[in-house]
Structure formats: structure tokens, C-alpha cells
Amino acid sequence: MDLFLNRLFDAISNGSAYALIAMALVMIFKATTLINFAQGEMAMFGAFAVMVVALEWNWPAWVAVIVGMVFMAAVGAGIERTLIRPFDPADHLPLVIITLGLFLAINALAGIIWRFDPRAFPELFPSGNALTIGGATLSWYTVGVVSTAVLTAGVLTILLNKTKIGLAFRAVSSNLESSRLVGIRVGPTLQFGWALAAAVGTLGAAVYVADPIRALEPSVMVRVLIFASAAAALGGLDSLWGAIVGGLTIGAVQSIIVPYTPIPNELSLAAAVVVLMLVLWFKPSGLFGTAQVERV
Amino acid sequence: MLEVSGLQGGYGQIQVLHGLDFRVDEGEVVVILGANGAGKTTTLRALSGMIETKGSISFNGEELVGKGAADIVRMGMAHVPQGRGTLPELSVEDNLRVGAYTRTDNEVDDDMDRWYEVYPVLKERHNQRAGSLSGGEQQMLAVARALMSRPTLLLLDEPSLGLAPIIVQDLFERFKQINTDTGTTMLVVEQNAQLALGIAHRGYVLESGHISVSGAADDLINDDAIRKAYLGV
Amino acid sequence: MAARFQLTQGTSRYRTYKWVAWGLWILVLVLFAFAYADTASIEILGNKYNLGLPRTSKALTFAIAVLGLQVIVGYTGQLALGQSFFFGTGAYLSAWLVADHDWSWIVSLLVVVPVCFLLGMLFGLPALRIRGLYLALVTLGLAATFPAIVQLDALDEYTGGAAGKTVDSDLVAPGWFESLANGIAGVLQSLPLLGQYFGEGDPSSKEVDRIYRFALIVILIFVLIWLVSNLLKSRTGRSIRAIRDNETSAAVSGVDLTMAKTLSFGLASAIGGIGGMVYVAELGIASPGDFTQLLSILFIVGLVTGGVGTLSGAVVGGLVIAFVPEWASSTEEFPGIPERWLQGPTGSFILGVLLIVLMFFMPGGIIAGVRKIRARFLVVTPAAPLELGAPTGTEADSGSSVTDDTPTGDAQPDEPAGGDTPDEVPTT
């Protein structure tokens, strides 16, 4: 029972981190129906920025996180303006290839600047345990990550539903042409989406790496991207709360289901991919997504 | 109010409009008729800045050619696209709100109430997903949305398309009503000549990217040329 | 642009041109092989750059993988990011057969090809339901799992775990080849002016072995290109290409989507597996870290650099993705760039940026660029009208060309007159 609870807490903790990155993916997908394969690397780069601000400039940890988020938001906006906007939004292949190029370039850039030795990362949540149930421990870290994910989803939902720019964003996701016809400036709206996604991604990477057992290094998000995209796709790529459900599901697969099966733990990634394939097989638009109709 | 001359436009390699000349005066309802493929939708898209154009479009004295859609909307033109262009995942109310996107005053809610009065069915369904509305209801929504920006010129692209005759009848009556009550100038593009000319002051016929006939609505209704254009004979 | 020469396919003049082009290419390859049979290096700006046959051979193995990718991405238009999985499978499978069971490399192909083909078809199945970006996602996930699979404790004895699987590359040149090589070397050495680049005396046996392996790989590539090219002209091939242009239309026109998609996945994976086999044959070791999803992305870089939809582009792409990182890490000094920067993964950075730049300026890749230039001097016209009724790949696609491509300037085996699409491709 204790083991189960500990595994459950692991699942929730990892799942929430995946959910954050997944939310970033969802934001970009909603706006552009594109999967930003560079999201993980952008998040990683943001986490490095946070590290620099917190550990080299010695600013308070959460201030560093905000700074990192703002920094990456600017980078995200810049990427949209220079690399994405020039292309026809309907033609996905060139855009996806650009995100792949970004994946490579950003990953390498981080390696060039900061090398590959694992780095310390500031503590974002109090150490120690919030709760002890028998032999199982619920750490403050887990509480922190989950709260962050839920809060973020909440803030994003409010942003999208109650603000003017959120309305514009939802309009653009829904019908690009009509959005133009009511005077929405699509470019800046998309830019906003990319900036927001980059910020959320950075937050996700930061809380992920803040786990005392993890260290920050350039390849830290490479695997996480897979888990996060599986989470996003599971939830239906255009649903924020779907991303949370998806994240928790993937976390559960990784930390609860796999340990109880003969599948070796090293293959938890493979298990997540298989789960994804199964869901997509039966429900191509994910659990909560809106079905896409294809026009000949 | 609107003075178009030598308008050319199309989609990349395919040029659809080959030099159009027409005008719309303030307070009028003007109709552009034509068969499928004549270029009616393209004409409206040219006006609202959705495609590249050559020639001249003078709107309230300002030149529109070369301007983007976002600017043109802010100059007072609203375009109800073919097929309604509803934002299906958003609520009816959000659809209306989006229509007022370019406005900076605080009378948006008042306007919404006003359009709820004109189209009570929208009020009934104001929280529903717009995609769940019937075709006729979506058309009303699309028009109300366009009017939320308080345009001086309203462009309507084939409002009757895909709708049952009874609904369409009602729709057009309301258009006429809006024109007389608010004085909003309208440019309607339609295949249903009878209906359109019934509410219009003047009309044009478009044939393969050229204006072939023009005149007062009453004259056009009785004209052989209409039948010619309509049947493409 | 004024065309200087006009050649019509099917005429004897065209045939002559093709034979001459072939001949020139073979000559270049022979010269290259003999000049760089020893571990050669160039010095530029104080940095030593390796340019030897072994490295070129490695580049060619990547080219094979990229060629496989062309079948899926270039011709069916689906983005698949799992090629490193099959590349790795081919490598490990053949390494195990050769090292532990004394099979010869050629014979190991009999296992590698079907296994990879079947695995590819198996993963082609999700492609039936999953479209576009989801497919890219799933295949990327697949590629990411390869190192973990190969390092499983249960498979340790087959795969050598984290340390990898070593194999003695015992492809030794047979006697007749040695004599041939000696003869060629002698001829080359006696050339005025150029003779000095080809060494002195008979090439060492190591060098002869290298040249032999190089020759084998080159022949393999030509064979594969020829096979794929012919396949794509066949009926099955055309249905594969129809998928790229418009899936729904293809289905409606009677193309058996299931068959075509799974076949193309199978084929692409089989070719990837072959590449992996050659890779480990040349390198002598297969280690898990070599086959991550980063490699899959690298293959995409190669694909795009060479030119999506071109077969000869695979070779160009392979060369680029093998040599750029190699040379980048050999660069220890470069004016204007701090040394610290040069010590990192500069090669990958360059490739990432290259990919982005290409999409802006040369989406058709290098081959498209070369074709444009060639088109200034040479126009190839088809001999007869195109066959009607069969969905052909469109030349109007930005930057992608239809199958009838070959290594630039090269000949294809004699084509039947008519039914071929022009060589020239308008690129946007």
C-alpha cells in the first residue's frame, strides 16, 4: 500500500510536469494546428535562463522563474515573427521541419553555452514532506508541481475566456478567415500564443528540474517532450484541461502501471507511446479534442 | 460611398476579376448577381482586403487597394462571408463579441442587446456553441456579428445559400428592415436574383469577371439580360 | 533563360549524354577512392580536417537511410521520424549474426531486410488511422525508445548492453580486386602533374580493403537508387505518390491506401535496415547512443538538404549530415569565434540552422538548386506525351521533383521511350 501511494505521488508529480509542457503544446496547436517539436528544447533553454538568474545573479528563485518565462516569451514571439509567419499556415510540412531545425539548434546551443555536465537548479518548493501516510511520503515538491499545473491551467483558461486577446486567440483557432474579417490582426495574435506557450513551457521545465533528484542539462527535456506530446495528444491536442488529464494518465502509465507489469521500467517511454497509439487508433482526435473534418 | 474602378484580382495565377467598375451610394442596397464562377465572392473578398488587387477601390474617399483586412474593417466595412463563417466552437455571445473586436467604446453590450431584439433566437441560444445552430440561425448570427462593428458598409456574400426558402424570405425582409432603420449601406452578392432585387435599389450583373449589366432594381427584375446572365446563356 | 542544349529522351544523343555522365561520375569516384584511401586530411586555418574513405563510407550509410526516408516522406508525403529505429535494428541484427553466428554480411541481409520490412509494415499500420503530425509524434516516440530497448538486461547477450556490440569487419578484398587496384594505382600514379596525389607504389592491403568496401557501398547505393526509381515508376509506385498529393482523392480514385501506405513504410524501413547493416560493417561497432531520435532528426536534415523527393539528394544529404558535425568538431580555431564555442556540439547547431535556412531559401534542397543551374544549359524533353489517367506526382510542388531523377548528370539504365516525366523541375 505504501509503495502504491508513493508511486501514485510520483505519477501525479511527473504527470503534472508533463501536463505543463503539454499545455504549451496545446496552445500552439490551437492557434496553428502545428505541433511545435522544439517546445521541449525551448523549455529547457528557459530553465537554463532561470538557473543563470537564480544561481549566477543570485536573484530569488521564483523571481528568476518569472524572468525566465518573460525571456522565453520574447524568444517565442520572435520565433513566430521571423520563422513561422512567413509560411503558409495551411502547409504543415515546412513548418514542422522548421521546428525540427529549432529542436536541433536550440539543443546544440544550450550544449555550446553550458556544456553537458549536470547542473544544480534552485529549489522552487520547500523540501521535506507535507504528509506522511504510513510509509508513504507526499513531498512538498509534489504538492508544488501539481498546484502549479492546476493554477496554470486555471490562469490560461481565464486568459482565454475572459480577455479580449483571449477571445481573439480562440477566434483565430476556430476560423482564421472570419477572424480576419472582424479585424483581428492574426499575426500578433499568433505571436501572443507562441509567447505564452514558451512561457508555460519554461515553467514546466523549471518545476520538472526543480525536483531534488534531477539535474539540469541540455538533454533533460528530450524524453519529456515525448511524454508531454503523448499527454497532449491523449487529451486532444486543442484542450487545456485535456492536457492535464493526459499528463496525469501518462504519469500513471509510467509510475503506476508499468511497475506492476512485467514491462521493465526503462521501457516506460515505449509504454507511453503504445498507449498513445492505442488511443489515437480508437479516437483519432484524442479524448477531449474536437474532431477534424477533412475536405477533399 | 464606394467607388470601384478597374478592379482586378484573383488567386495567385488565376485571375478572376478583369476590370470591374461599380459604385454604391450611401444608404443604398446594391445587389451583384451572377452565376457560379462569375466572380461574385471574389469581388467581395477584393473589397474587404482578403486578396491581392489592382485597380482602385475608393471607400469614403480612401483608397483600399493595398490595404489589409484588419485596416479595412476599422474603416467601417464589414463582410459576412459565404457559408456564414461562424466560429463554431465559440458561444453565440462570443461570436457577437468578436464582431465588436475593433471597437473601443463601451456601448458594445447595448448593441448586443439590440441585436438580440432583432434576432430573438440568438438571445435564446446565447450561451450555446455557435456550431450547434441551424443554417438560418447561423446566418442571422453572422449578420449580427458583422453589424456589431457598426459598419457603414455591409457586404453580404450569398446569404441565401443552403437555406430553406421560408427562412430566406424572412432573412431578406430583416435585411431590408435594417437598411431602412439604421441606414446601413449594403452590398449583397446573390444567385437568387428575385429575392435580392426585391430588397435592392440598384443592381449589377457579373459575368466571368466583368460587369455586363447595371441598372435600377425594378428595371432589372423585368429585364431579359438578367435571365441571360442568370442562366449563362 | 536561353537553353543551350536540347536533348530529347529516348534519342541516341540523350543516351550518349547519359553514358558520358555516368562515365564521368565513375571516374570521379575512382579518383577519389584512390586519392583518399589512406587517412587523408586537409589543413585549413590551422585545423585538421579528415577526409578519408572510412568517413565517406559512413556518410554513405547515412545516405542509404535518407534514401529510405525519401520513400515515405518524399513520395507519400507523410512525415516519419522513426528511421533511426530501423537503422539501429539493421545494425544490431547484422552485428549479432556476423559476430556471434559467423554469418557473412551479405547473407545477413536475408534476415535484416525482411525483419525491417515487416517491422516497418507493422508501424505502418498506425499510419492508417493516424495522420500527419500525430504520425510524426508517434514515430519520434518510437525512435526514442530504441536505446532503451537495446540496453535491456534481457537482451544483453545479444546487444552488448551499454557498451555496444563489436564486430570484426572482415570484408577483405579478394585477390583479383587487389591486382585490379594495384593496376589502377599504377596508372594513376603515372599521370603527369596529378600522379603525386595517388601515393607511391602499390597501395597497402589496408587501403585496398578500404577501397573495396567503398566500391561495394557505392555499388549498393546505385543498385538501391535504381530499384527505388523503378519501383516508383511502377503501378504500385504511382499509387504511393498519389498519396502524397491528396490522400482522399487517391482513395477515391481507387488507390488501395492500406496496401500503399504499409508497403511504403516497409520499404523505407528495409532500406533503413540495410543502411544500418552497412554502418556497422564499416564502423565495427554498434552502440545504443548512436541510434537515438536525434539521429532520426539528422536524417530529416539530410533529406531536406539533399532535396525532398529526389533520390540523388539522399547521397548529398548523407554527406552533409556526416561531414558537417565531423568537421565542426575538428575545428579548433576559427577567426572571430571564441574557442569555447567550438568545443560544443557546433555541428548539430549548424545543421539545425541549415535546416531552417533551407526551408526559406532552398526548400527543394541542394539538388533542386543544382537542377536550376543545369537547366540554364540543358533542357531535357520527354520523348512522348505523358501517360494519361495515372496519377503522377506533380512537378508543381514547391521544391519537390518527380521520380525520374538520378544522380545529377547521370544516366539511368536505358528507359523505354515515352511515359517519363521531364527531368527539369520548376522550383518556387
Residue A208 has pLDDT above 90, yes or no: yes
Is A100 in the C-facing interface, judged by CB distances under 8 Å? yes
Q: Which of A229, A270, A294 faces C149 most closely, judged by CB atoms?
A: A270
pLDDT of residue C239: 67
Half-sphere exposure of C379 (CA within 13 A, CB side): 9
The residues, any chain, with a CB within 8 Å of residue A87's CB and separated by 6 or more, are: A94, A95, A98, C359
C partners (3+ CB pairs within 8 A) are: A
How does pLDDT run across A22-35, given as a tens digit for each residue? 999 999 998 888 88
- The residue assigned the cell 539511368 is C412
- The residue assigned the cell 568496401 is C213
Is B164 in the A-facing interface, judged by CB distances under 8 Å? no
Q: Which of A86, A272, A296 faces C249 most closely, judged by CB atoms?
A: A296
Distance CA A42, CA A78 (A): 12
Contacts with A104 from chain C: Cβ below 8 Å: 294, 297-298, 301, 348-349, 351-352, 355
- Of the ranges A52-61, A284-293, B160-169, which is most confident? A52-61
Q: Which residues of C311-336 are buried (b: 16+ CB within 10 A; e: fewer)?
A: bbbbbbbbbbbbbbbbbbebbeebee
Interface list for C 250-269 with A (CB within 8 A): 252
Contact C138 A106 (CB under 8 A): no
A294 phi and psi angles, rounded to 5 deg: -105, 130
Task: Determine the average pLDDT of the residues in A288-292.
Answer: 66
Distance CA B149, CA C134 (A): 39
Is B145 in the A-facing interface, judged by CB distances under 8 Å? yes
Distance CA B1, CA B144 (A): 22
Is B42 in the A-facing interface, judged by CB distances under 8 Å? no
Contacts with A97 from chain C: Cβ below 8 Å: 300, 304, 355, 359
Is B70 in the A-facing interface, judged by CB distances under 8 Å? yes
At residue C294's C-alpha, the angle toward residues C289 and C297, to 5°, is 145
Contacts with B97 from chain A: Cβ below 8 Å: 167
Residue A292 has pLDDT above 50, yes or no: yes
Contact A281 C142 (CB under 8 A): no
Task: Determine the average pLDDT of the residues in A68-79.
Answer: 96
Distance CA B150, CA C232 (A): 58
Let me know if chains A and C touch, i.e. at least 3 Cβ pairs under 8 angstroms: yes
pLDDT of residue C426: 32
Q: Which residues of A158-179 are buried (b: 16+ CB within 10 A; e: fewer)?
A: eebeeeeebbbbbbbbbbbebb
Q: Which of C132, C141, C349 faces A105 most closely, judged by CB atoms?
A: C349
How does pLDDT run across B201-233, given as a tens digit for each residue? 998 888 888 888 888 887 777 777 666 655 444
**Residue A22 carries which DSSP code?**
H
Contact A103 C345 (CB under 8 A): no
Task: Among B45, B89, B145, pick the best mutation site for testing chain A contact (most A Cβ within 10 A).
Answer: B89
pLDDT of residue B9: 86
Task: Determine the average pLDDT of the residues in A234-261.
Answer: 89
Distance CA B51, CA B33 (A): 20
Search chain A and give the residue with CA nearest B144.
A182
Sign (positive or negative) of CA dihedral A134, A136, A140, A144: negative
More confident residue, C7 or A140: A140
B partners (3+ CB pairs within 8 A) are: A
Positions in chain C short of pLDDT 70 = 1-5, 9-10, 38-41, 43-48, 126-131, 169-170, 194-197, 199-201, 236, 239-257, 382-428
Distance CA B77, CA A28 (A): 31
pLDDT of residue A60: 92
* DSSP assignments along A204-267, one per residue: HHHHHHTSTT--B-TTHHHHHHHHHHHHHHHT-TT-HHHHHHHHHHHHHIIIIIGGGSSS-GGG
Contact C252 A296 (CB under 8 A): yes
C97 phi and psi angles, rounded to 5 deg: -65, -40
Is A223 in the C-facing interface, judged by CB distances under 8 Å? yes
* DSSP assignments along C369-425, one per residue: HHHHHHHTTEEEE-SSPPPSSS----TTSTT---S---STT---S-PPSSS---S--
Distance CA A115, CA A119 (A): 10
Nearest-CA distance A215 → chain C (Å): 19
Search chain C and give the residue with CA nearest A111.
C344
Contact B48 A184 (CB under 8 A): no
Q: Which of C138, C246, C252 faces A273 most closely, judged by CB atoms?
A: C138
Search chain C and give the residue with CA nearest A231.
C137
Length of chain B counted residue by residue: 233
Nearest-CA distance B226 → chain A (Å): 31
Search chain B and give the residue with CA nearest A188.
B70
pLDDT of residue B72: 92
Percent of chain A clearing pLDDT 90 (strictly above) = 58
Contacts with A235 from chain C: Cβ below 8 Å: none
Task: Determine the average pLDDT of the residues in A121-134.
Answer: 86
Contact A182 B90 (CB under 8 A): no
Search chain C and give the residue with CA nearest A236.
C134
Task: Among A25, A80, A100, A238, pick the best mutation site for testing chain C contact (most C Cβ within 10 A).
Answer: A100
Residue A21 has pLDDT above 90, yes or no: yes
pLDDT of residue A191: 94
Contact A168 B99 (CB under 8 A): no
Distance CA A22, CA A244 (A): 8
pLDDT band at B190 (very low <50, low <70, confident <90, very high): confident
CB atoms near residue C102 (< 10 Å): 8
pLDDT of residue A23: 95
Contacts with A184 from chain B: Cβ below 8 Å: 70, 98, 101
Nearest-CA distance A219 → chain C (Å): 11
pLDDT of residue C253: 62
pLDDT of residue C84: 94
**Residue C138 carries which DSSP code?**
H
Nearest-CA distance A293 → chain B (Å): 13
Task: Determine the average pLDDT of the residues in B39-66.
Answer: 89
Average pLDDT, chain A: 89
Residue B114 has pLDDT above 80, yes or no: yes
Residue B165 has pLDDT above 80, yes or no: yes
pLDDT band at A146 (very low <50, low <70, confident <90, very high): very high
At residue B195's C-alpha, the angle toward residues B193 and B199, to 5°, is 110
Task: Among C138, C153, C358, pick the best mutation site for testing chain A contact (most A Cβ within 10 A).
Answer: C138
If we measure between CA atoms, which residue out of B80, B95, B144, B88 comes closest to residue A174? B88
Search chain A and give the residue with CA nearest C154.
A264
pLDDT band at A111 (very low <50, low <70, confident <90, very high): very high
Is A109 in the C-facing interface, judged by CB distances under 8 Å? yes
Contact A181 B78 (CB under 8 A): yes
Distance CA A142, CA C29 (A): 61
Residue C315, by phi and psi: left (phi above 0), alpha (psi -120 to 50) or beta?
A: alpha
Q: Which of C131, C246, C344 faces A115 most closely, judged by CB atoms?
A: C344
Search chain A and give the residue with CA nearest B83.
A178
Name the percent of chain B in helix, strand, coil, to the closest 5.
40, 30, 35
A partners (3+ CB pairs within 8 A) are: B, C
Q: How many CB pairs under 8 A join A and B?
A: 66
Let me know if chains B and C touch, i.e. at least 3 Cβ pairs under 8 angstroms: no
Interface list for C 326-365 with A (CB within 8 A): 341, 343-349, 351-356, 359-360, 363
Is B83 in the A-facing interface, judged by CB distances under 8 Å? no
Contacts with A226 from chain C: Cβ below 8 Å: 140-141, 144
Task: Determine the average pLDDT of the residues in B149-159.
Answer: 92
